Amino acid sequence: MKRKKQLQSLVPWLVTLALFLFWELTCWLFKVPPFVLPRPSLIFTTMYQFRGQIWFHSLQTLFTTIIGFGLAVGGGLLIGLAVGASRIVYTSLYPLLIGFNSIPKVALVPVIVIWFGIGTIPAIITAFSIAFFPIAVNVATGLATIEPEMRDVLRSLGASRYEILTKVGIPRSTPYLFASLKIAITLSFIGSVISETVASNQGIGYLMLSASSRFEVPLVFAGLLVVGAMGIAMYAICVLFEQRMTKWAFRGSELSA
């Protein structure tokens, strides 16, 4: 049993390694030129070579992502609670939210730049605007799916709407909230990198754009890998939180073990 678990946690690493090997071999076999698709070995040496720059720009991206994500959690939670708890807010706000979510966020960046200039702030706002929607929708769904019997039990005890919200609504929607955080954190990365490529002189997005304009393709790929790795790390942290906070939602399933 224990060995099986150890093996399970090893599998993702093995698969990643296999993918890189396959990539390396294919490039070598078909003699793919590095300005089309660089080999992983070249990407990693480039990464090491430019480690100072990459470190600096990664920190910037990480910073804007986390701030944007944090704001999205706060905003999404508030909007989700309001939409889920009140019929009027739901009917009046939902179409607007859907409309806003349908706007490609790249199209927003120029507008934000006009208001706030280039750099950190547009990246934060873009990360926020792309990430708050799934949070709001999930929290609202959690509230909307409270079992009517559970509501009736509380109402027959004389609970106010506020008490129903805090005693059932919020605990009931935490698994939904944490599920959405996993999506939201990756979306935040997408948001801030998009904004950096369009309007910034800092961040991984900027690094990749400027590298590609100089045809330094391996550096572009190094940036891509770094963004991916940061995404995985943040996702893992969210999963850890999820399992901590909502153990009951996983019940006896294997995930909680």
Partner 1 sequence: MADNAFVDLHNVSLAYGEDEERILAVENLNLAIEKGDFVAVVGPSGCGKSSLMKLVTGLLPPTGGTIFVDGRQVTGPIEGVGMAFQSSTLMPWRTTLDNIMLPFEIVKPHKHRLRTNRSEYVAAGERILQSVGLGNFTHKYPWQLSGGMQQRANLCRALIHEPQLLMLDEPFGALDAFTREELWSVMQNLWLEKRFTAVLVTHDLREAAYLSDTVHVMSKRPGQFIFSKKIDIPRPRTLETTFTPQFIDIVHSLREKISNEHEL
Q: Select the residue interacting with partner 1 from 154, 183, 209, 239 (CB under 8 A).
A: 154
Q: Select the residue interacting with partner 1 from 12, 74, 110, 171 (CB under 8 A).
A: 171
Q: Residues 190, 130: contact at Cβ < 8 Å?
A: yes
Q: Residues 181, 73: contact at Cβ < 8 Å?
A: yes
Q: Select the residue interacting with partner 1 from 73, 121, 140, 168 (CB under 8 A).
A: 168
* Residue 147 found at the interface with partner 1 (CB under 8 A): yes
CB closer to partner 1, 99 vs 158: 158
Q: Select the residue interacting with partner 1 from 21, 153, 229, 240 (CB under 8 A).
A: 153
* Residue 167 found at the interface with partner 1 (CB under 8 A): yes
* Residue 149 found at the interface with partner 1 (CB under 8 A): yes
List Cα–Cα distances, 215 to 36, 178, 210, 225, in angstroms: 10, 41, 9, 17
SS3 253: coil
* Residue 157 found at the interface with partner 1 (CB under 8 A): yes
> What single string gives the DSSP state of each residue in 94-126?
HHHHHHHHHS-HHHHHHHHHHHH-SSHHHHHHH
Q: Residues 239, 180: contact at Cβ < 8 Å?
A: no
Cα 185 to chain centroid, rounded:
2
CB closer to partner 1, 51 vs 161: 161
In the complex, which residues of this chain contact partner 1 (CB under 8 A)?
Answer: 147, 149-150, 152-159, 163, 167-168, 171, 174, 246, 248-249, 251-252
